Amino acid sequence: MSVTAQVLRSEWTKIRSVRSTGWTLGVAVLVTIALGALISALVENDWENMSAEDRMTFDPTFVSFAGTGLGQLAMIVFGVLVVGNEYSTGMIRTSLAAVPQRGRFLFCKIAVATLLALVVSMITSFAAFLTGQAMLGDHRASLGDPGVLRAVVGGGLYMTLITVFSMGIAAVLRSPMLSLGILMPFFFLISNILGNVPATEKVGDYLPDQAGQRIMQVVTAGDDAPYGPWGGFAIMALWVAAALLAGFLLLRRRDA
């Protein structure tokens, strides 16, 4: 077995052996699906009271992803724990002694966690869509409608990139508490505030979550964003790449 394969197997064992990582993934799935279904049911119940303008701009696909905002917080916790736990317990010294090639170590850790996050996120995205559309009744969309399959697949990719971004930040900060202390308020509060205040709205368009969520939208009437779904996804990917690069460079330069 090659060294890389051994490291990949080791990282998979680490993830499986930590109970908290499994719990965070489970919470992400449950919250995303349940909240999306609840909001979809409420929208269906209130359909007759909606204005003509709201009906014209109604996006049944995006409504089913209403739980993504909270679900992504659980994915952030998962990403931070995957990287940060070794720093908080001191196991990072043992890991780097066993795998002196730090680039290989970080690549394998992120690769295993990313693949797991991708599988969970895709299952969650399709389940949230199907459950939400069932709640919307006659106002539902189907996977065969224009742009819908892209949005559903994009929902899974978005959750995955959020996870990878948090792993990059955790590699930079080397502390689960500090990483969560920055990422949680940023995505839950600061990003929403910047995106909804007229003076900073343009700045908000280029934040990773605001840009990345465009890929989950099918109806874009009244949306004045300077990019399309894949353009927003590319902006988010650049944020993720920058976080990973910073984490890699600092890992190479710093002591464990």
- Contacts with 135 (C-beta within 8 Å, 6 or more apart), sequence order: 37, 40, 41, 44, 64
Taking only Cα atoms into account, the Rg of the chain, rounded to an integer number of angstroms, comes to 19
The structure's pTM equals 0.93
* 124 closest CA partner among 244, 55, 29: 29
Averaged pLDDT for residues 169-176: 93
**How many domains does one find in the chain?**
1
Give pLDDT, residue 201.
82
> Are 136 and 40 within 8 A, CB to CB?
yes
In the structure, what pLDDT confidence band is assigned to residue 255 with cuts at 50, 70 and 90?
low
pLDDT tens-digit readout, 184-200: 999 988 888 888 888 78
